[in-house]
Chains A and B, each alone.
Chain A
């Protein structure tokens, strides 16, 4: 059985190469046909080691936040190695360049690109190790390597009916000076897969079902103090004064430490620290966002997409000349949409344990970007990155929030200030107050139709706060000519027959915190686009599925629509008391391949109360090559639940630049009683695994809006669809 060395050892990580007799393989990680690489040199390190007892240790290089890549990646390696999965022990990798994501050149989990990114590199790694074992057996038996084959964890010579287990080979084999070359055509053919495409169980589920899984918030180290932090209510605001002197007179309070954007309370017990935090008073300086009011802001954003004159506008996507097409169009159909701020509400509040000593820095944290955590911790402590050890802990949810690392920097700063290890934990109230939101957006889409009703031009203007600057910094935005790819994700419509297209970003600068949020800009953008497609179908008097089939050029998209329609029983679906709506979304980047989801929802409406109940969701998900089909269904269902939660109730509002919500009691995420019956059909369309973790999220809100349109003739155009908004729309 598999286990996590990090968990088994409490908090330590067993050295990958140390102490085990047997073979360890080092591999170059180079992605064939790398389209996003920056030309960094290939690097070497160990992924696989085989003990003489046949135990195969495989490193999971990517941080785990629930998406199960810590099973999927070792499974892919084991597939090419032809390992007996029951002999595999998965170990959480160290934070080291050798485990970098081959495209991001960092240990970094975003964009559902983990499996896709590591795919060729780790297959090659597994195949190389298998080849070394075959060559060693061939030498021992004195037969040509070409006569040998493998079965799970054994090399076999059929002609002489001999076999050697991998553990036996590990006891005599020598690592070759040069690793064998593995060309892509030497990798396993999909028809021969023994593990990929099967429902191999996640190895981390038993520990996560018994309370034994250790998250950052669970870590305790000797001599550790506890800390929590009041962060500035408004981004960029700094503490001018605080009542720390008074608090430090309390028993158990060790220090009150002012930081750039917060004040930390430090003590020897968590309960003492939390009590002091409740009494901490800070005088904050004003900041650019101090006057921001999101209700006023929404109206202003809408005004900006109607008339962007005087605003900074950046072209995000362009095909042909949509403005000219709109001018010469026989008819123009327009739609306006808005989405509110939403918060991640990851269940584990942001936590980092840091220990700064004369020898260096050690941190234990759940982060989507461990490489940067190492570098930022080094900077905060004033030591070189080699002096920092980052222990990648499983995350109690990430969803984009843990791609930002202020909590790691702050933990290091506090540990350095007090000279002891510190567990810095946010309270839920502070986590909400410090929400880094998916930004509020306003959309205006203008569609120019020719005399025959074909789409000649499509212009989509999006007013939204910038996200790239807050996740990556201003230089990244400059290098992309001002295109915020997080806001503008999937603002284009390449699968539809649209002659010319323009998507523009109207910059907004409300001075509040923003982040990548599961599905990024593709969520709001799909809401606007897919509602618009439905509106076009309705105005043409056509069935939404038939209209889409007419408009879709892409074969995979057409198949997904057909599969979803078939699952839902469209068009026989009744249109009595419930309404049906369909929507599509994409995930990924074109150069690496995009997955496609089509969702149909069945919605019941309580018109008097304005309550929406989604009864059924049917989703067809084209994911290329499914690695673990069951896990893919769970991930897609999770995405649909997120989409539903955001569509129905999730909403952060700002007054005077500060978040108004306080906890999970007034930031409402979906609970089980609002869960629809959900059916997911995985479509296998190729031999490459495409992105999964955020797939389908963007389909839910437009599908609901479209269902309500079908039921009532009215368009829900503002997310979330709160009861007051639903009533106002139907009035």
Chain B
């Protein structure tokens, strides 16, 4: 049994220590907003926060997150009223939507440290997150909007 702090709640997990955090979140805890895309940290669909830092849950074993705070899209402060979520809605960013939880969690990590990022900073920070539908322009616009830039 491992003990895990997810979205402010302590949860007991019956999984071996090398289990990727992604599957713990999705299948053990039913927090399915975090998505599986590649399993090798190449697409960013599984991005969550570990002690406030964006990480890829697919390559992060359970053993590395014990005693730390995990935040998923479900635990993003404010829910639908979160400024990033509101910006995503205003820009109508999602198409298929599958990558967008990871995009938002990646963007939240940027704004936490850099409240007024330049466009170049946004692009550099978001480059590890693939959107196969090609909604990149709306994603960048949404991050700018959330940062108060539009």
Contact = CB atoms under 8 A, between A and B. Distances in A.
Given A66-B97, A209-B88, A641-B136, A664 B27 contact: no
B32 interface: yes
B72 A675 contact: no
Contacts of A669: 130, 132
Of A206, A214, A429, A678, chain B has the most CB atoms within 10 Å of the CB of: A206
Contacts of B132: 345-347, 397, 399, 669
Interface in A632-666: 634-635, 637-642, 645, 663-665
Interface stretch (A197-205, A292-300, A684-692): A197-205
A668 B126 CA distance: 16
A205 B94 CA distance: 6
B71 to A, nearest CB: 12
Contact of A215 (B73, B89, B98): B98
Could you tell me the dominant secondary structure of chain B's interface residues? loop
Contact of A270 (B23, B104, B124): B23
Contacts of B118: none
Nearest to A208: B97
Interface string B88-120: 110011111111110010000000000000000
A66 B95 contact: yes
Contacts of A425: 36
Nearest to B75: A211
A195 to B, nearest CB: 16
For chain A, give the interface size range: 35 or more
B74 interface: yes
Contacts of A84: none
Contacts of A211: 31-34, 72-74, 101
Nearest to B14: A269
Interface in A377-415: 394-399
A673 B123 contact: yes
B37 A640 contact: no
Contact of A664 (B20, B42, B74, B94): B42
Contacts of B37: 347-349, 428, 664
A271 interface: yes
A209 B94 contact: yes
A68 interface: yes
A105 interface: no
Interface in A164-223: 201-202, 204-215, 217-218, 220
A631 interface: yes
A198 to B, nearest CB: 13
For chain B, give the interface size range: 35 or more
A707 B26 CA distance: 46
Contacts of A429: 39
Contacts of A640: 134
Of B126, B132, B140, chain A has the most CB atoms within 10 Å of the CB of: B132
A213 B32 CA distance: 9
B38 A665 contact: yes
Given A638-B95, A665-B42, A672-B140, A206 B80 contact: yes
A347 B46 CA distance: 11
A675 B98 contact: no
A724 to B, nearest CB: 22
B73 A210 contact: yes
B134 A641 contact: yes
Interface in A331-360: 345-349
B89 A271 contact: no
A269 B27 contact: yes
A217 B23 CA distance: 12
A634 B95 CA distance: 8
A454 interface: no
A274 B33 CA distance: 20
B19 interface: yes
Contacts of A398: 96
Nearest to B15: A271
A727 B138 CA distance: 33
A206 B72 contact: no
B45 interface: yes
8 contacts: A68-B95, A215-B98, A217-B35, A271-B20, A394-B97, A428-B40, A634-B92, A638-B135
Given A218-B26, A641-B134, 5 more contacts: A201-B92, A209-B93, A271-B20, A638-B133, A672-B126
